[in-house]
Structure 1
Amino acid sequence: MRDELGTRLKAFEGRSATVAGVGKDPVNAPMIRHWCEAMGDTNEAYTGPDAIAPPTMLQAWTMGGLSGHRGPTGRPGSSGRTEAYDDLLTLLDEAGCTSVVATDCEQEYLRPLRPGDEITFDTVIESVSERKTTKLGTGYFVTTRTDIRVGPDLAGTHRFRILKYAPARRREKPPRPRPVVNRDNAGFWEGVQEHRLLIQRCTGCGTLRFPWLPGCNSCGGPEWDTVEASGEGTVYSYVVMHHPPFPAFDPPYAVALIELAEGVRMISNVTGVPYDKVRIGLPVTLEFQAHDKELVLPVFRAGREAAV
């Protein structure tokens, strides 16, 4: 199938995106210091009277911030940017490729930059890919190449690649997995459907147990009845799930081992607070969460004070 949009986009290759752009600030020690502190880079080459700028700062000297650049005339907001790049992006927007993500960059260093250096730069649209389909959506990779100079000398080259794409349609979230119900735990799940949290109790020795089992761990007795939990408990332990992602869940989320007031422990989710506010010893209260018409699960809600 012929890609007519791709053909039109290819015509932009080799055209200028920025002509005679001027760095908003000269290379300077404060920006170098802030960069090194942020990166944790303590190389002595970046300090003292003979300091150079970290090579990876190359793009930083071309950026205009929120207030923009000054161009060759010194006018604020005059960056030397051409209409060609804007036209390219507009063409992609009109085709539905309204989202953008930076994918990677490549840098080549030819001479060190030192405090006081005034930089200029020119940018060319180096390449536009064929139409690509990614997990984010379908679109085109656009690569620009920026040549950065100090006076007539080329100091370095920065290639920057973005993906302009039409977002993929989100699939409908699948239903939450169902618990495995068998003859040993059916009574527990029947209680949950009635919004009751039932704990097994051995009729021989009185020991409470959870999860439900066919016999008592303490005395081995097979007979049992149930008591209904009060619903009060505390977080005994927890983990925060980040990976692997499951389509029915929204990580990150906390999975906690809850110690009930009756003394038994069960695994459940903690609601009512962000995952990073869950703590060992956090008081929680039982509630029942309906995920659909058929699935009800016991979860534990933290008090409002825990969210502060």
Structure 2
Amino acid sequence: MDDAGEGAFAARLKAYEGRPAAVAGVGKDRVNAPMIRHWCEAMGDTNPAYAGPDAIAPPTMLQAWTMGGLSGHTGRTRAYDELLGLLDEAGCTSVVATDCEQEYLRPLRPGDEVTFDAVIESVSDRKRTRLGAGYFVTTRMDVRVGGERVGTHRFRILKYAPARHATTKDATTKDAPTKDASTQRPPAPDRPAHRRPRPVINRDNAGFWEGVARHRLLIQRCTGCDTLRFPWLPGCSACGYPEWDTVEAAGAGTVHSYVVMHHPPFPAFSPPYAVALIELAEGVRIVSNVTGVPYDKVRIGMPVRLEFVRCDDELELPVFRAQDGNGG
């Protein structure tokens, strides 16, 4: 697409800004205690405000009450489907959620029936990303109970055309430019073609990555109630106290759960591989890789021990080596 064509296409996309994305949507379930309990168990959130006769829902569940699930989206408009269809026709057939922002105006309680409306807030100009070139689409959803707005949820996705990465086969086709053999460097079989994605480091988790650089796995500890927490958060989910210190993990753990990734493939990763939820001896859990055994030998309950693996000149990561005799 030339510059003129790209400009015209961008204008077509911009015309959808301000149009509704969902109208008169109704949550498929009222706010309810079982969903709150499952959420808290999955997140390891033991805040007493989320249990008992006067329970409220965790604020970050705001989107959960509006999700359509596998059976489809509630109240989604033709305008939003048209926008996504235009992007599909332009080759932007892949989608990834990039971030969300939430504003809470009052707590939700069991029995509340949630309704919502959403608007297409913005469509970006064409952006080039490591995944591929595409467009960021932001929707703003206003969530209500009994007509009263209780929260706002902004959700941003990237609709993109997957980048085509050169392969060894591509580089050796007859159409590829030739070079003098004396100037060619043989490929290093142990050198990945792509770097691992960089972790997002911010003011809330910088201390964790500083610990990793010193080969220390640091766990936050609330100085108000002594509750350990991971991943790192700006405040305690148990008592809300903002002050904390750290304790160093001893390194022992077990596989609490795991998945084997087959698809989709990502640069720098060679599927299939296992991604595990490790329960540390201290009681908190961390997502990491299990080393020392083939991916199909990872098992729930398998004992593991912390080690640090250097991925490249800049990146070092904590992983866990199996300790059950199958390579540990």
Give the shorter-chain TM-score range. Answer: 0.5 to 0.7
Deviation digits for residues 238-260 of structure 1, max 9, x if unmatched? xxxxxxxxx89848989xxxxxx
Deviation digits for residues 237-295 of structure 1, max 9, x if unmatched? xxxxxxxxxx89848989xxxxxxxxxxxxxxx99943866x9xxxxxxxxxxxxxxxx
Deviation at residue 4 of structure 1 after TM alignment: 1.7
Deviation digits for residues 115-165 of structure 1, max 9, x if unmatched? 000010001000000000001100000000010000121000000000000
1:164 to 135, 159, 173: 159
Partner-residue secondary structure (3-state), 1:142: strand
Distance in structure 1 (CA, Å) of the matches to 2:131 and 2:119: 26
2:121 to 110, 123, 126: 126
- How does the TM-score come out when normalised to structure 1? 0.56
Partner-residue secondary structure (3-state), 2:42: helix
1:65 maps to 2:76: no
Deviation digits for residues 31-76 of structure 1, max 9, x if unmatched? 000000000000000011110000000000001212236xxxxxxx
Distance in structure 2 (CA, Å) of the matches to 1:170 and 1:93: 20
Change (3 A) 1:251 1:67: closer
The AA in structure 2 aligned to 1:87 is E
The AA in structure 1 aligned to 2:34 is P
2:18 to 14, 18, 21: 14
The AA in structure 1 aligned to 2:87 is L
Aligned position for 1:29:
33
1:5 to 4, 9, 30: 9
Identity of aligned residues (%): 74
Partner-residue secondary structure (3-state), 2:35: helix
Alignment of 1:275-290 (within 5 A): none
Partner-residue secondary structure (3-state), 1:30: helix
2:93 to 94, 98, 106: 98
Is the contact made by 1:141 and 1:163 (CA closer than 8 Å) also made in structure 2? yes
Alignment of 1:102-181 (within 5 A): 102-173=97-168, 176-177=187-188
Change (3 A) 1:144 1:178: closer
Change (3 A) 1:167 1:248: closer
Is the contact made by 1:138 and 1:168 (CA closer than 8 Å) also made in structure 2? yes
Aligned position for 1:302:
none
Deviation digits for residues 178-199 of structure 1, max 9, x if unmatched? 79xxxxxxxxxxxxxxxxxxxx
1:274 maps to 2:285: no
1:42 to 43, 46, 49: 46
Aligned position for 1:52:
56
Say what the alpha-carbon RMSD is for the aligned residues: 3.1
Is the contact made by 2:272 and 2:295 (CA closer than 8 Å) also made in structure 1? no
Alignment of 1:194-213 (within 5 A): none
Partner-residue secondary structure (3-state), 1:19: strand
Distance in structure 2 (CA, Å) of the matches to 1:145 and 1:134: 23
The AA in structure 2 aligned to 1:52 is I
The AA in structure 2 aligned to 1:124 is V
| Structure 2, gaps ≥5 residues long | 172-185, 191-266, 275-290, 303-325
Distance in structure 2 (CA, Å) of the matches to 1:252 and 1:166: 24
The structure that has the greater radius of gyration is 1
Is the contact made by 1:176 and 1:248 (CA closer than 8 Å) also made in structure 2? no
The AA in structure 2 aligned to 1:25 is D
Partner-residue secondary structure (3-state), 2:117: strand
Deviation at residue 93 of structure 1 after TM alignment: 0.4
Distance in structure 1 (CA, Å) of the matches to 2:160 and 2:72: 26
Partner-residue secondary structure (3-state), 1:111: coil
Distance in structure 2 (CA, Å) of the matches to 1:38 and 1:138: 34
- How does the TM-score come out when normalised to structure 2? 0.53
Distance in structure 2 (CA, Å) of the matches to 1:106 and 1:152: 22
The AA in structure 1 aligned to 2:76 is R
The AA in structure 1 aligned to 2:57 is A
Partner-residue secondary structure (3-state), 1:143: strand
Aligned position for 2:254:
none
| Structure 1, gaps ≥5 residues long | 70-78, 180-246, 255-269, 280-305
Change (3 A) 1:176 1:35: same
Partner-residue secondary structure (3-state), 1:85: helix
